[in-house]
Amino acid sequence: MSLLNQLFNRGIFGAKCKTSLNLAIARMKLLQNKRDMQLKHMKKEIAQFLQAGQEPIARIRVEHVIREMNLWAAYEILELFCEFVLARVPILESEKECPRELREAVASIIFAAPRCSEVPDLVQIKNLFGTKYGKEFIMVASELRPDSGVNRTIIEKLSLTSPSGEARLKMLKDIAQEYSLNWDSSATEAEFMKSHEDLLGGAKQIHRQDGISESQPSQHGYTQSSVSREVESLPAEATQRFQKLQAQNPAIKNVSSSKLTSASQVPPDTRRDQTDVMERARDALASADRATAAARAAAQLVNVSYGVTAPTVAATEGKP
């Protein structure tokens, strides 16, 4: 009884496998013919964009063209694998394990089945192989485990990674040559040579450099932002302080305020060296402090020598 079941199941596997393989081959041929027309139309549109100077649109469209061409090439290889397996279905029926010479074709069909949604017959073939060889055999091919046997070209053509800049540039040049366009590719080459890290990390890198420049102190122990704020506030404060010192000590009225005015008259648009402006303002304050100390010392000397009080000196200032 078991022998009859085995013979019956073997006949069912062979019939279903042949039917699904024939349907998959016919469907992939139709899809290839359809894609040929689509690719010609898409290339013509890209040529029109290049001729009109709309290179950014052409750079985006060419990526879709490359994907369609990769899928077309994958269908061509899968079609050959299906024809190869179809001619050897009796061998698959007679042997319990997958023959070594058929392993690459069977594994490639299993790997491509979920990635080629336009060919549902490949999924049926995959299920037939899973019933015959077990789930582990299907998992090895689907997950690309070591010794899976999947064709490398099938893996590359069905990959989801975006095409490289060199591939896109080459395709654009081929399209321009096919339609006899006098196209200058220098701008597109410069755009494709930019790495994704520079494009993504450019703003971050600029902000990072700004943060470093603000956090590092200057030669005088001030950050760049604090220096700019201090330069804006120092001239006014220095002038007020000098006026207070003049009101308290009339003896320093003749002290020249050229250093203060030179620091306060610097236009904000021409502050190329902020640290020099701050130093000039500090020197003016220091000279004012020294003048105050000298006036106080002179007043004390007058009090000691002549016994005259400070108000009397202030009242008799200017008299012989």
DSSP code of residue 116:
-
- What the block records as the tokens of 57 is 């649109």
CA 193 to CA 94: how far, in whole Å? 55
pLDDT of residue 265: 52
- Sign of the torsion angle spanned by Cα atoms 236, 241, 247, 250: negative
CA 226 to CA 217: how far, in whole Å? 9
The mean per-residue pLDDT over the stretch 59-88 comes to: 94
pLDDT in tens, 188-210: 888 877 765 544 455 455 445 55
| For residue 307, pLDDT beyond 80 | no
| For residue 219, pLDDT beyond 90 | no
Rg (CA), the chain: 44
Least confident of 52-66, 137-151, 183-197: 183-197
pLDDT band at 4 (very low <50, low <70, confident <90, very high): very low
| For residue 275, pLDDT beyond 90 | no
Q: How far is CA 130 from the centre of its chain?
A: 42
CA 217 to CA 224: how far, in whole Å? 7
pTM over 0.85: no
pLDDT of residue 303: 64
3-state class percentages of the chain: helix first, strand second, coil last, to nearest 5:
80, 0, 20
Mean pLDDT of the chain: 76
CA 144 to CA 164: how far, in whole Å? 23
pLDDT of residue 280: 77
Is-contact 86 22, C-beta < 8 A? yes
pLDDT of residue 61: 92
pLDDT of residue 242: 52
Cα atoms in the 13 Å half-sphere on the side-chain side of 16? 18
pLDDT in tens, 34-55: 999 999 999 999 999 999 989 8
pLDDT in tens, 102-132: 999 999 999 999 999 999 999 999 999 999 9
The mean per-residue pLDDT over the stretch 53-75 comes to: 93
Helices (H) and strands (E) in the chain, counts: 14, 0
Which string of DSSP letters, residue by residue, matches 151-219? -HHHHHHT--SPPPHHHHHHHHHHHHHHTT-----HHHHHHHHS-HHHHHHHHHHHHHHHHHHHHS--T
Decide: residue 304, CB within 10 A, 0-12 exposed, 13-18 middle, 19+ buried. exposed
pLDDT band at 7 (very low <50, low <70, confident <90, very high): very low
Q: Amino acid identity, residue 90?
A: P
Count of Cβ atoms closer than 10 Å to residue 287 Cβ: 17
Decide: residue 265, CB within 10 A, 0-12 exposed, 13-18 middle, 19+ buried. exposed
Count of Cβ atoms closer than 10 Å to residue 118 Cβ: 13
pLDDT of residue 273: 58
pLDDT of residue 193: 79
- What the block records as the tokens of 148 is 């899976």
